[in-house]
Chains A and B, each alone.
Chain A
Amino acid sequence: MGNVLTIILQRLALGFLTLLVVSVVIFVAVNLLPGDFAQSILGQGATPESVAAIRRDLGLDQPMVARYFSWLGGALQGDFGSSFAQASFANFTGSDSGAGSVAQQIAPRFANTMFLAAVSAAIAVPFALVLGVLAALYRNSIFDRATNIFTLSSISSPEFFLAYVLILFLAVLNPILPSVSNIFADMAFSDRLEKTLLPALTLTLVVTAHMMRMTRAAIINLLSSPYIEMARLKGMSPLRVIVHHALPNALAPIINVVAINLAYLITGVVVVEVVFVYPGIGQLFVDSVKFRDIPVVQACCLIFAAAYILLNLTADIMSILSNPRLRHPK
């Protein structure tokens, strides 16, 4: 067990180191912008005195290393600075209502995005596992080939194509679900779910295909092993062989691919959120990219990267934990 613990601690340390380096990359990338925040806020007609004043207020006259550490320190406490698109002047004029702070903007949207990702995952994971087991069970049949074609197509279609096709069939031609997800803070759960369902279905289509293919491949990989042969010779039904004997041993790669796809869900929401005008963090990110609202872009980027790294880290650790050879060393 000590062996596994060391490996996991190593992975954790490596993950946090990566996160730290990524935050440096994001910070440096943003600082490649010509001019600085003060000039951007005040525009072209700014007097040198006012630029200098804002620079002093924001700490922009400090050296870059010091600014990085104060940004990182703030980010760790949930303070991402103030956005300069939304009500940012309120902060500088002294009436600090907090309305312009990046954290204030991100928090509710982050919750929305997590809700969307959770709903998609709740649909996609069971669906993908069942389909994967079925495809492995009836491999090389017409069913297997049809699912193969279907999943390959949905993996390679851009998200917005799937989104528009779903809108066309489920919202426009057969008005079952709303095509625009206007979500408010105080909404009944069922209402919220109904409005989230169409974007969630789009994401499900994208993610299920990949998970299902990996599940099928992982199970089929094991089917030539001697113990599967043994189970078959005992006269077990094919379904029982797969569910009882192959699936538990195929769990490691399956858990891995599920975690990776969840990471994809959190970052892949960007396009889907834009199509459905879903008020999530991806929509905010794209909007602030267009308005060059740098503090928000920086914060969203850091959050996305953190989610991505953490989920990949989880995938790593889970696959270590599910490996019996590592859990029970000789």
Chain B
Amino acid sequence: MIWFAAALVSFAALAWGFRLAGQAATGRAPYFRDMTFGVAYGYIFAVAALAWLVWAYMQGRSPDPAVANKFFFLRIAVEGFVVFAIGAWLFRLLGRNVGTKGTKRLFRSMPLTASFGIMMILIYVFVAVFASFLAPYGQAEIIRGVAANIMPGGDIALGGNPDFPLGTDQIGRDILSRLIYGAQNTVGIAFATTVIAFMLGGSMGFLAATLGGWLDQLLSRIVDVLMAIPSLIFALLLMTIASVWAPRLGIPQTYFMILIIAVIDSTRVYRLSRAVGQSIVVMDYIEAAKLRGEGMGYLMFKEILPNATAPLLAEFGLRFCFVFLTIASLSFLGVGIQPPLADWGTMVRDLGGFVNFAQFAPMVATPPLLAAGAIALLAVAVNFVVDWMLHRSSGLKD
């Protein structure tokens, strides 16, 4: 702590010197002459942080296992960051040179974050679709002749097994396979939930915008009340009730969860689609369609919907993230996706304790972090793409 403070103070002196040296060396070039102290400090700080990162990375590669173990995760993080950055850059290069004219132009103005996002989403979709081919074992398969609780890492001295690089769980299922199937279950269920929420919230919102009057008032007040309750809390309350009803009705609890989260989330979609719909309803072409005698369904889906696609699409990305994180949180708390389905949130809860062994055997701590990281990575990727889409459509340059 003291060392950190001392470093911060010495950076100040270094920054001062750096600016002075810059001014002297370039003969008071405008860039150095007008540089504020804050900017100079920022440069020194960034250089120091980078230097520390490089030092820590080298420590992670040191031959002494005690030191290497300590910096193992930092090493993985740095390597992961570099690999993903290069991957995103290559992907953007690919997009700029392959494809139709439209996609080429799209990729030309794309920031690296957005191309990273698109690449990651494609990878997740690929893994989710082909999970049964990629995974070495079934998601609920208890492998015969193999002990439960094989340690991750494949190091026989530590109780691992090279056939199971991430080990097996408490009843002998392959963790790697479950991680791969998690893409199918977690992402698939979140996607289905978002689609239901959009169908429900979107059609209700357009209906309220087109009809107005008491229906609009009624729906809007119901939505107000539902939105006044924090969504995770409300979902937990309703899941308690669903967990009692599910076995009585013989319907899996997961279906209840999909319905509950879809309804809770449709309130946000309703707000947006009603607002967007209201600004479209006053257009002349809607009036014309009404005078032609078109029905309500035609008005909503053929006239309003095509004109509301852009904001709804961006909202779909945000909602998907939100639903995905809610489902992961519920599963982590133990009331979400139920076994035997493999799911990342549940895996983090079951394996979370292994994080405490990271100091002695870093590989042992990886499965829970991989599962949690898989959730985070997809959410980050979707957010990057949505951020870029919003930035593009708003035309903001600042």
- A, B: real partners: yes
- Assembled-state Cα–Cα distance A140/B111 (Å): 13
Judge whether A274 and B348 touch: CB under 8 Å.
Answer: no
Which residue of the partner chain, among A139, A173, A224, contacts B358 with CB atoms under 8 Å?
Answer: A173
Judge whether B232 and A286 touch: CB under 8 Å.
Answer: no
Nearest A residue to B318 via CB reads A156
Judge whether B321 and A156 touch: CB under 8 Å.
Answer: yes
Judge whether B233 and A285 touch: CB under 8 Å.
Answer: yes
Does B373 touch A at the CB level, under 8 Å? yes
Which residue of the partner chain, among A164, A173, A263, A290, contacts B70 with CB atoms under 8 Å?
Answer: A173
Which residue of the partner chain, among A289, A305, A309, A312, contacts B240 with CB atoms under 8 Å?
Answer: A289
Judge whether A220 and B398 touch: CB under 8 Å.
Answer: yes
Which residue of the partner chain, among B39, B241, B243, B376, contacts A29 with CB atoms under 8 Å?
Answer: B241
Residues of chain B contacted by A66 (CB below 8 angstroms) = none
- Assembled-state Cα–Cα distance A263/B365 (Å): 33
Judge whether B334 and A290 touch: CB under 8 Å.
Answer: yes
Residues of chain A contacted by B252 (CB below 8 angstroms) = none
Nearest A residue to B245 via CB reads A34
Judge whether A157 and B380 touch: CB under 8 Å.
Answer: yes
Interface string of A266-294 (1 = CB under 8 A from B): 01101100110000000001100110101
Does B300 touch A at the CB level, under 8 Å? no
Task: For the complex formed, measure the closest distance between the CB of A312 and the CB atoms of chain B, giving whole angstroms.
Answer: 8
A18-26, A96-104, A120-128, A193-201 - the one binding chain B: A18-26
Does A237 touch B at the CB level, under 8 Å? yes
With A158-B372, A301-B233 already in contact, the answer to whether A34 and B244 are too (CB < 8 A) is yes
A85-93, A147-155, A317-325 - the one binding chain B: A147-155
Judge whether B229 and A270 touch: CB under 8 Å.
Answer: no
Which residue of the partner chain, among B42, B373, B382, contacts A156 with CB atoms under 8 Å?
Answer: B382
Judge whether A25 and B229 touch: CB under 8 Å.
Answer: yes
Interface residues of B in 160-194 (CB under 8 A from A): none
Task: For the complex formed, measure the closest distance between the CB of A303 and the CB atoms of chain B, giving whole angstroms.
Answer: 10
Residues of chain B contacted by A285 (CB below 8 angstroms) = 233, 236
Judge whether A158 and B228 touch: CB under 8 Å.
Answer: no
- Assembled-state Cα–Cα distance A298/B199 (Å): 31
Judge whether A164 and B236 touch: CB under 8 Å.
Answer: no
Task: For the complex formed, measure the closest distance between the CB of A268 and the CB atoms of chain B, giving whole angstroms.
Answer: 8
- Assembled-state Cα–Cα distance A14/B232 (Å): 23
Does A160 touch B at the CB level, under 8 Å? yes
Does A227 touch B at the CB level, under 8 Å? no
With A22-B225, A308-B229 already in contact, the answer to whether A158 and B332 are too (CB < 8 A) is yes
Which residue of the partner chain, among B225, B335, B369, contacts A164 with CB atoms under 8 Å?
Answer: B369
Judge whether A309 and B228 touch: CB under 8 Å.
Answer: yes
Judge whether A179 and B382 touch: CB under 8 Å.
Answer: no
Judge whether B358 and A168 touch: CB under 8 Å.
Answer: yes
Residues of chain B contacted by A69 (CB below 8 angstroms) = none
Does B282 touch A at the CB level, under 8 Å? no
Does B98 touch A at the CB level, under 8 Å? no
Question: How many chain A residues touch B (Cβ–Cβ < 8 Å)?
Answer: 64
Residues of chain B contacted by A304 (CB below 8 angstroms) = 229-230, 233
Judge whether A18 and B38 touch: CB under 8 Å.
Answer: no
Judge whether B365 and A168 touch: CB under 8 Å.
Answer: yes
Judge whether B359 and A173 touch: CB under 8 Å.
Answer: yes
Which residue of the partner chain, among B46, B236, B238, contacts A270 with CB atoms under 8 Å?
Answer: B236
Residues of chain A contacted by B302 (CB below 8 angstroms) = none
Judge whether B229 and A22 touch: CB under 8 Å.
Answer: yes
Does A32 touch B at the CB level, under 8 Å? yes
Does B292 touch A at the CB level, under 8 Å? no
Judge whether A30 and B241 touch: CB under 8 Å.
Answer: yes
With A158-B379, A267-B232, A271-B329 already in contact, the answer to whether A164 and B240 are too (CB < 8 A) is no
Judge whether A270 and B232 touch: CB under 8 Å.
Answer: yes
- Assembled-state Cα–Cα distance A304/B232 (Å): 10
Interface string of B213-247 (1 = CB under 8 A from A): 00000000000111011101110111111011100
Judge whether A18 and B232 touch: CB under 8 Å.
Answer: no
Interface residues of B in 340-376 (CB under 8 A from A): 345, 348, 352, 355-356, 358-359, 365, 368-369, 372-373, 375-376
Interface residues of A in 1-56 (CB under 8 A from B): 18-19, 21-22, 25-26, 29-30, 32-34
Judge whether A32 and B383 touch: CB under 8 Å.
Answer: no
- Assembled-state Cα–Cα distance A156/B113 (Å): 14
Which residue of the partner chain, among B333, B335, B384, contacts A152 with CB atoms under 8 Å?
Answer: B384
Residues of chain B contacted by A138 (CB below 8 angstroms) = 38-39, 42
Residues of chain B contacted by A34 (CB below 8 angstroms) = 244-245, 248
Does A107 touch B at the CB level, under 8 Å? no
Judge whether A270 and B333 touch: CB under 8 Å.
Answer: yes
Judge whether A160 and B228 touch: CB under 8 Å.
Answer: no
Interface string of B324-342 (1 = CB under 8 A from A): 0100110011110000000
Residues of chain A contacted by B352 (CB below 8 angstroms) = 160, 164, 275
User: 30 pairs across A/B with beta carbons < 8 Å?
Assistant: A30-B241, A34-B245, A152-B380, A153-B383, A156-B376, A156-B382, A159-B329, A160-B328, A160-B352, A164-B368, A165-B369, A168-B355, A168-B365, A172-B355, A172-B356, A172-B358, A172-B365, A173-B358, A263-B230, A270-B333, A271-B232, A271-B329, A271-B332, A289-B237, A294-B240, A305-B233, A308-B228, A308-B230, A309-B228, A312-B228
